[in-house]
Structure 1
Amino acid sequence: MNKPKIISLMGPTASGKTAFAMELYDRYPIDIISVDSALIYRGMDIGTAKPSKQEQQKYPHKLIDICDPSQSYSAANFRHDALAEIETSLKNDRIPLLVGGTMLYFKALIEGLSPLPAANSEIRQQIEEKANKLGWQAIHEELKKVDPISAQRIHPNDPQRLNRALEVYLISGKSLTELTQNSGEALPYEIMQFAIMPEDRSILHQRIEKRFIQMLEQGFEQEVKVLMQRSDLHLNLPSIRCVGYRQMWEYLNGDISYDEMVFKGICATRQLAKRQITWLRGWKQPITWLNSDNINATFNNLF
């Protein structure tokens, strides 16, 4: 029995994924499902390059604006929600098109997730109490002893992920790295995987810089000011650590100058793109690469 077909369109930030997805929506019976860990947050529109309200009306995107910035949202949450959206799309005789640059979400969806122990509020509280006394750097050092690979991957100022990684070890006696080596249930569909980016990396860098400047002109500073007025948001949250938001937050906090914010914001976005490309270069499944300077010609020959 043939598996239902779905399409994934991956690529680094500013490579043109969203614009191309909208073009495809005009030509094929597709449903756009966002695979982006920043677009999930409500009230974070400009700095995430989220499609405008007008664009979303014309080109509906699933899994956008589904979380408050104070909430956490895991790869497991994404897999659950994405599978539900895929099933709905297929039942309506449409083609699910997964579009985004959060490679961890794609990996969780396509390869499945390892069975990890459920959260334990008592252990989490113990870790937090220790962090309040000794600092999260001490928690990071503790994690380094039991799971050096996770410690290398997780920033010392990321309490949510530090807590979870250490919690997993304290509950199971096994490291997060060890447990995640065994994938869970694989995706029950046939997936056509595409990746989009310019052939010349310098073009991508130019696009990143241009887009960041456009965000500033569109009111990015005011958007972050509104977020800062909330007492429940802070720099350690995954939402505020999104590229651009952290740098703008630091500027508005008086920690860096305006010019430093712009420079650091552009550099952080370029580093994100580099990480995304590295993920894609090492992708296990076969990928068809599309040149973002000539997408349609390449795609039409394959679809």
Structure 2
Amino acid sequence: MLTADQYPLLKPVVALVGPTAVGKSAVGLRLAQALETEVLAADSRQVYRGMDIGTDKPCSEELLTVPHRLIDLVDPDQPFNVSLYRRHAESEIARLHRQGKLPLVVGGTGLYIRALLRGLCEGPPADWTMRVRLEKEARAQGAESLHRKLADVDPAAAARLHPHDHVKIIRALEVYARTGRALSGIHGAHRFAESPYASVTIGLLRERAELYRRIEERIDGMLARGLREETQRLLDRGYGPHLSAMRGVGYKQMAGYLLGQYDYDEAVRRLKRDTRRFAKRQLTWFRAESDVHWVTIAPEETAEQVTARVAALVHDFLSRLVGGRAPARSQTDLSSIGAGAR
């Protein structure tokens, strides 16, 4: 392990990533205990207050066991973006380094992790007038209208984004309108090449059938704990489905049911389908990252056993760091993992 005075100098960071329901939280909790550190969440939904069940935030017992940071940062109707996340995360990382602790970032929001570990490609500031206008256009003409508009000015971004991903599509249109440059081109020129930290990224994987089984179990558990009631409370507080926070998987489907768009069984069906699709998109993102050390979890493995394997990779990273050598890189074939989501 590093000595306390080496942390601020070498700036090590460990990131634990993977798709939803793969087991990141359980492994991250145990790893943080073993490292005597804290968990820094990298989840674009857990930043919202009052959205607990649908984002699978740590329970009170887990929070007492290991401090979790970067959750409950804003209300659901407050704007939040990757730049704000990076700012909060950098502050927490600096604090942990001063305390001689190893920052452990755990989450599935790939853009947050990429921006934190490899730098952020800053675009122009938000144009809220334009965003409101584009939101109205999407509601009036259909979600695909904005996607077609983006395809005309930035085909690469349009090919990468789902037609219903309003937030990212609107941002890409906004950047083009403000700069005259395609967002995909700006990102390509930046290449996210900054490396403010000495980091290692460890990804957790499961076979597709096992991951989907765990997704089903997770959703059943969320429903049993009161996801429907939590969504109703949010709606009652004025947090409507137009908000970015309410368009996340879980709240979007439950809000549709509660607003009378379809029945409960259809809401559950959509929720499970969309969560599988979400997991597939997460895997596609992390598959494109070149520096992930992958750990494939067998169905019979316990969280403790997986944590031991991950801890060995962390130990190897720290040993190489102290020795002045970059951590070895490895990548596995992910072509059969998470494919064919329905």
- TM-score, L = length of structure 1: 0.90
Tell me the distance in 2 between the aligned counterparts of 1:129 and 1:267. 27
Per-residue deviation, residues 151-186 of structure 1 (Å, max 9, x unmatched):
344455555433322221122111111111113561
Kindly indicate whether residue 84 of structure 2 is the aligned counterpart of residue 69 of structure 1. no
Kindly indicate whether residue 136 of structure 2 is the aligned counterpart of residue 113 of structure 1. no
Unaligned stretches of 5+ residues in structure 2? 1-5, 316-342
Alignment match, 2:26: 19
Tell me the distance in 1 between the aligned counterparts of 2:108 and 2:255. 23
Per-residue deviation, residues 230-253 of structure 1 (Å, max 9, x unmatched):
33x222322111111111111111
Tell me the amino acid that sits aligned with residue 110 of structure 1. Answer: L
Kindly indicate whether residue 255 of structure 2 is the aligned counterpart of residue 244 of structure 1. no
Deviation of the 1:58 alpha carbon = 2.4
Q: 1:228 to 1:175 in 2, by over 3 A?
A: same
Tell me the distance in 2 between the aligned counterparts of 1:41 and 1:78. 12
Q: 1:133 to 1:275 in 2, by over 3 A?
A: closer
SS of equivalent residue, structure 1 residue 194: strand
Per-residue deviation, residues 133-157 of structure 1 (Å, max 9, x unmatched):
7666544432221112323444555
Alignment match, 2:276: 270
Q: 1:136 to 1:195 in 2, by over 3 A?
A: closer
Please point out which of 189, 200, 204 is paired with 1:192.
200
Alignment match, 1:298: 309
**Kept after mapping to 2: 8 A contact 1:112/1:185:** yes
Alignment match, 2:323: none
Q: 1:29 to 1:262 in 2, by over 3 A?
A: same
Deviation of the 1:51 alpha carbon = 0.6
Tell me the distance in 2 between the aligned counterparts of 1:217 and 1:42. 21
Q: 1:253 to 1:190 in 2, by over 3 A?
A: same
Alignment match, 2:173: 166
Larger deviation: 169-178 or 53-62?
53-62
Deviation of the 1:256 alpha carbon = 1.5
RMSD, matched Cα = 2.4
**Kept after mapping to 1: 8 A contact 2:205/2:294:** no
**Kept after mapping to 2: 8 A contact 1:115/1:179:** no
Tell me the distance in 2 between the aligned counterparts of 1:49 and 1:212. 10
SS of equivalent residue, structure 1 residue 94: coil
Tell me the amino acid that sits aligned with residue 260 of structure 2. Answer: G
Alignment match, 2:227: 220
Alignment match, 1:36: 43
Tell me the amino acid that sits aligned with residue 180 of structure 1. Answer: H
Alignment match, 1:144: 151
Alignment match, 1:176: 183
Tell me the distance in 2 between the aligned counterparts of 1:11 and 1:139. 30
**Kept after mapping to 2: 8 A contact 1:11/1:101:** yes
Please point out which of 233, 236, 244 is paired with 1:229.
236
Identity level (%)? 36
SS of equivalent residue, structure 1 residue 9: strand
Tell me the distance in 2 between the aligned counterparts of 1:153 and 1:68. 29
Alignment match, 2:318: none
Q: 1:300 to 1:135 in 2, by over 3 A?
A: closer
Tell me the amino acid that sits aligned with residue 174 of structure 1. Answer: R
Deviation of the 1:37 alpha carbon = 0.8
Q: 1:196 to 1:237 in 2, by over 3 A?
A: same
Q: 1:282 to 1:162 in 2, by over 3 A?
A: closer
